Structure 1
């Protein structure tokens, strides 16, 4: 009689594979993932079937981690103007905590064949739209979510291509400064330091 697969062991292995892939990229062979998860290539095949199946699950779980992490960053906060939330989110996304996700999924987006995740380019273009629309809705302008998403994605691609994070940071600050006059018309004037209107 064959052994029953143990979901908790499989789950632990997958988390270790995700940690390794975020730190070092997706490997061409199973051996690095086996070493990172403290098991053997034979056991990886036992639990996941094939190398590509393991890589797909690794990418899927990494993406869920990123969605939870970044989604929390861009969520509106009642005690903070949303442009300030966006500035802090940008700093974390492009900083040490966020860069592994950007590197992993930047490479996947550039993969011409898209074999591991068909349709990833389309999905990755729209999956942050709803959280940003919700954030911009907090200041009465949900339709600007697409604009904010386009700026963030474009500047991230700029950093990946040039490595010039300082210039991208300045560009994002300039964008938020340009956005402020639009948002102040829809928010409490006290949030942005204006004097309240006369009664």
Structure 2
């Protein structure tokens, strides 16, 4: 009878593999995970079964982190208008901390072979609707959740293709103004993107 697996060791290995994949992308072989964890391929397979099962576990752990981070950004903040919350969330979602998630899941949605996570593209879209609907309901615009999500996703793709953050910020600022005329301009540190009131 084999030695029982130890959940704490599995969790540690999974976190190390996830850290590596978020920084470098999903590997096509086990060796990068072996190097990142300081263990052996045999030990990884002992804990996770197969390479694909380990990759699925890494994707699920990365998605869990992604959901926690973005859901917190979309959450209603007492005393703050939701347009202000979305302005701040937009800057964070397109900032350095979010980039590893966008790279990993952007690559996953572009793959024709989605065997690692069937149905991911649909789930990755609908995951964000409930917190957006709840937040937008505070300014009587819950019905705009799909529109806001579509604009966010489209502008993130735009930034990825063109690196024109200023133009994307301006477009998102216009969306916020359409939802709430008192929405603040998009601000990234000392740089603020806004348009004249007559524009």
Q: Same fold (TM over 0.5)?
A: yes
Aligned structure 1 segments of 4 or more residues deviating by more than 3 angstroms: none
| Deviation sequence 1:16-61 (CA, Å, 0-9, x none) | 1111111110011111111111211111111111111000110011
Aligned-pair CA distance for 1:178: 2.1
Structure 2 unaligned segments of length 5 or more: list them.
184-199
Counterpart in 1 of 2:56? 56
Aligned CA RMSD, in angstroms, stands at 1.4
Q: Distance in 2 between matches of 1:6 and 1:14?
A: 12
Counterpart in 1 of 2:24? 24
1:1-199 pair list within 5 angstroms? 1-181=1-181
Q: Distance in 1 between matches of 2:176 and 2:40?
A: 49
Aligned-pair CA distance for 1:127: 0.7
TM-score between both structures, scaled by the size of structure 1: 0.88
Q: Distance in 1 between matches of 2:19 and 2:123?
A: 23
Q: Distance in 2 between matches of 1:83 and 1:41?
A: 48
Structure 1 unaligned segments of length 5 or more: list them.
184-199
Q: Distance in 1 between matches of 2:17 and 2:82?
A: 35
Length, aligned pairs only: 183
| Deviation sequence 1:131-155 (CA, Å, 0-9, x none) | 1001101122211111111111111
Query: Does structure 1 conserve the Cα–Cα contact (< 8 Å) formed by 2:159 and 2:165?
Result: yes
Q: Distance in 1 between matches of 2:26 and 2:12?
A: 18
